[in-house]
Amino acid sequence: MNNLLTPIVLFVYNRPKHTEQTLEALFKNDLANESILYIYVDGPKEISTEEDLRYITETRQILRKRQWCREVHIIESEKNKGLANSIIFGVTEIVNKHGSVIVLEDDIVTSKGFLTYMNSALNTYRNDSKVMQVTGFIYPIDKTNLPETFFYNANSCWGWGTWKRAWDYYIDDINIIYKRLIEKPVNWKKFNAFQGRAFQDQLMDNLNGRIKTWAVKWHACVYLNDGMILHPRSSLTKNIGFDGSGVHCGYDNKMLSMDIIENIQVVKHKELHSRIAMKSLKKYFAISNQSTINKIIRKLYSLKNLLRV
Q: For 187-218, what is each residue's pLDDT tens digit?
A: 999 999 999 999 999 999 999 999 999 999 99
Q: What does the alpha-carbon distance between residue 161 and residue 9 come to, in Å, rounded to a whole number?
A: 10
Domain count, the chain: 1
304 lies in a domain? Answer: no
Name the band, by pLDDT with cuts 50, 70 and 90, for residue 32.
very high
Residue 260 belongs to domain with CATH number: 3.90.550.10
Mean pLDDT of the chain: 89
Q: Which long-range contacts (CB under 8 A, 24 or more apart) does 97-101 make?
A: 98/6, 98/7, 99/163, 99/164, 100/6, 100/7, 100/126, 100/161, 100/162, 100/163, 100/164, 101/6, 101/7, 101/8, 101/9, 101/161, 101/162, 101/167
Partnered with residue 79 across adjacent β-strands are: none
pLDDT at 269: 79
Confidence (pTM): 0.89
pLDDT at 4 (0 to 100): 81
Evaluate whether residue 137 is within a structural domain.
yes
Asked if the structure places residue 116 within a domain, the reply is: yes
Residue 174 lies in a domain: no
Contacts made by residues 214-220, CB under 8 angstroms, sequence distance 24+ = 214/83, 214/84, 214/87, 214/88, 214/172, 215/155, 215/157, 216/155, 217/170, 217/171, 217/172, 217/174, 217/177, 218/133, 218/155, 218/157, 218/170, 219/154, 219/155, 220/171, 220/177, 220/181, 220/191
- Would you say residue 293 has pLDDT above 80? no
More confident residue, 302 or 163: 163
Most confident range (mean pLDDT) of 38-52, 239-253, 261-275 is 38-52
Give the domain extent around 155.
Answer: 2-169+225-299
180 in a domain, yes or no?
Answer: no
213 within domain boundaries: no
- Under the banding of pLDDT at 50, 70 and 90, the label for residue 38 is very high
Using pLDDT thresholds of 50, 70 and 90, give the confidence band for residue 270.
Answer: confident
In DSSP notation, 146-194 reads: --SEEE------SSEEEEHHHHTT----HHHHHHHHHHTT--HHHHTTT
Q: Is 212 a member of any domain? A: no
Write down the pLDDT at residue 274.
Answer: 87
- Cβ contact 74:41 at 8 Å: yes
- Identify the band that residue 24 occupies on the pLDDT scale cut at 50, 70 and 90: very high
pLDDT at 250 over 60: no
Question: Does 110 fall in a domain?
Answer: yes
Angle, helices 50-63/16-27, rounded to nearest 10 degrees: 10
